[in-house]
Amino acid sequence: MFGVRACSALWGSRTVSRVQLLRTLSGMTVAQVGLHSIVYTCTITDLFNPMFCFVMQIDEEVAKLLQLKAKLGGDDGKIQFVLKTPKGTRDYNPKQMAIREKVFNTIVHCFKRHGAETIDTPVFELKETLTGKYGEDSKLIYDLKDQGGELLSLRYDLTVPFARYLAMNKITNIKRYHIAKVYRRDNPAMTRGRYREFYQCDFDIAGQYDAMIPDAECLKIVYEILSELDLGDFRIKVNDRRILDGMFAVCGVPDDKFRTICSTVDKLDKMPWEEVKKEMVNEKGLSEEAADQIGEYVSMQGGMDLAERLLQDPKMSQSKQACAGLTDVKLLFSYLQLFQITDKVVFDLSLARGLDYYTGVIYEALLTQAGVAPVVAEAQNGAPGSTEESVSVGSVAGGGRYDGLVGMFDPKGRKVPCVGVSIGIERIFSIMEQKAEACAEKIRTTEVQIMVASAQKNLLEERLRLVTELWNAGIKVQCICIFNPKLLSQLQHCEESGIPLVAILGEQELKDGVVKLRVVATREEVDISRGELVEEIKKRTL
């Protein structure tokens, strides 16, 4: 316990403030504090002594100061840093970046194959641009500290900035892709690819087109990307916001509760129906009868046949909104048949997607552990979710139609119909990283085609001349930046790095005007003339 002697000078005055005492204590070094400490014993009577209680309080404050001092640094004045990344973020090593680059290349190639061009927008937007676009998820937006200028927020997704871009530049027709980082103040689950800073890969079609053709192309893109990445079995859920709104209306949900009930339905992929219903009734104030009616509908899954059957449903047929949505879903499935992807697409009435800006078709792609879930018309028994189906391991893509978003930014309210999809790159990357680790796959982190090595000493200048020749010819080449490296260490570096070829220089090779070309995998060696070396490298590595 901190001793009385250390504070005796201050206790001599009744008017001494606690601040003065803390200043005295904080100015002491750790050694000084230890020097002035004494052991203080007390009796029961002391516990009722005001001075003793004051000493106890001082002791607690000293302990806090010492903890703070330990964090900031010792008596030598050196600051001690906590070396970690912020919560919900991570670093990526070269092997992880190689996997990411492969995924990005696959996605970009698909986007370009469908005729998309790319744009970029600022990482932060005016706060008012993002406010009111995300429903209950608006609380996850990162607001930046006011620096005496504009109120700004980090972008939550790439869709709202895209809509702002269209309105600001008066663009009414574009097919674009955008790959960039977004930020969400969410509870991260990093093992499942859920972060606070992450990439989104968006593809959107803006403009006036015939119904459901652009929507079907977006689903085709999701199908192509997930198939090319070979992540395992997947399925794509499809629904329509108009069907949801019509369903809520005929089930007795008040108009002012549509969006909040929609956000609750959106949790069905994470929570069982019993918990979703409990939230609807107890937290959202919905009647139990209305919740039960919603439960009957959200259990239904199928294809074009389900849309046809719901058009004949006594309740759903009363809603013009629902009928319009069901008619479009029928049309969508006819195009999906032409695109040959209906084997992976299911019409699922439980799909809600909580973002406020969706106005029509919505969709979400999920990977499954045990194959694609069978398409069933509806649950035969029990509550929604009681049908036997594959176990989902998470959403990897999602999107939908948002015809009114651009009009929210246009001064004259002019609307530009839009539909798009966002690929969940972080979750895909997590899965591919786990697969690479499981099969002990050797991943190359560079694209070096050949290493220039020397077999004898004092050949640094000759190595650099050859490296320059190859660089100038467009060959990806590397050499060890050491004056006299050992040949064995150079060859080992090639094996560890996956470099396929080695160009070995020695005094005899220089005299003969050749290079000894070594194939690392087979250890085969052959003499190649300097003039033919570039073509030989291209032939063996491209």
Per-residue model confidence as pLDDT tens digits over 248-260: 999 998 888 888 8
Sign, CA dihedral 448-452-453-458, equals negative
Q: Establish whether 137 is an annotated binding residue.
A: no
pLDDT at position 23 over 90 = no
Q: How far apart are CA 319 and CA 344, in angstroms?
A: 29
46-57: average pLDDT: 59
The more confident residue out of 231 and 55 is 231
What is the pLDDT confidence band of residue 74, given thresholds at 50, 70 and 90? low
- Specify which residues 477 forms β-bridges with: 450
Res 186: pLDDT: 82
The DSSP-derived string for 293-321 is: HHHHHHT-EESHHHHHHHHT-TTGGG-HH
**Looking at residue 16, what DSSP letter applies?**
-
Strand 124-126 and strand 174-183: pairing? unpaired
The more confident residue out of 223 and 38 is 223
Sign, CA dihedral 482-483-487-491, equals positive
Q: Establish whether 353 is an annotated binding residue.
A: yes
The more confident residue out of 7 and 85 is 85
Q: Establish whether 158 is an annotated binding residue.
A: yes
- Which three-class secondary structure state does DSSP give residue 15? coil
Res 71: pLDDT: 64
> What residues contact 176, with CB distance under 8 A and at least 6 apart?
116, 117, 118, 119, 162, 203, 204, 206
- Where residue 353 falls (left for φ over 0; alpha for ψ -120 to 50; beta otherwise) is left
68-95: average pLDDT: 78
Q: How far apart are CA 315 and CA 324, in angstroms?
A: 14
> What residues contact 235, with CB distance under 8 A and at least 6 apart?
344, 345, 346, 365, 366, 368, 372, 373, 390
Q: Which amino acid type is present at position 285? A: G
Res 313: pLDDT: 93
What is the pLDDT confidence band of residue 29, given thresholds at 50, 70 and 90? very low
- Specify which residues 175 forms β-bridges with: 205
pLDDT at position 340 over 70 = yes
Q: Establish whether 157 is an annotated binding residue.
A: yes
Q: Establish whether 204 is an annotated binding residue.
A: yes
**Out of 296-300, 384-388, 432-436, 451-455, least confident range:** 384-388
**How many helices (DSSP H) and strands (DSSP E) are in the chain?**
19, 16
Res 409: pLDDT: 92
Q: Establish whether 131 is an annotated binding residue.
A: no
What is the pLDDT confidence band of residue 57, given thresholds at 50, 70 and 90? confident
pLDDT at position 392 over 50 = no
- From the CA atom positions of the chain, what is the Rg in Å? 33
3-state secondary structure 423-446: ECHHHHHHHHHHHHHHCCCCCCCC
What is the pLDDT confidence band of residue 37, given thresholds at 50, 70 and 90? very low
Q: Establish whether 366 is an annotated binding residue.
A: no
- Which three-class secondary structure state does DSSP give residue 261? helix
The more confident residue out of 13 and 483 is 483
394-419: average pLDDT: 92
Res 314: pLDDT: 93
What is the pLDDT confidence band of residue 33, given thresholds at 50, 70 and 90? very low
- The pLDDT tens digits of the residues spanning 501-541 come to 999 999 999 999 999 999 999 999 999 999 999 999 999 99
Average pLDDT value over all residues in the chain: 84
Residue that has been written with the tokens 């398409």 in this structure = 375
pLDDT at position 459 over 70 = yes
Res 152: pLDDT: 93
- The pLDDT tens digits of the residues spanning 165-221 come to 999 999 999 999 999 999 998 887 776 667 899 999 999 999 999 999 999 999 999
pLDDT at position 542 over 90 = no
Q: Establish whether 185 is an annotated binding residue.
A: no
467-482: average pLDDT: 96
132-140: average pLDDT: 79
Proportion of the chain above pLDDT 70, given as a percent: 82
Q: Establish whether 240 is an annotated binding residue.
A: no
Res 436: pLDDT: 84
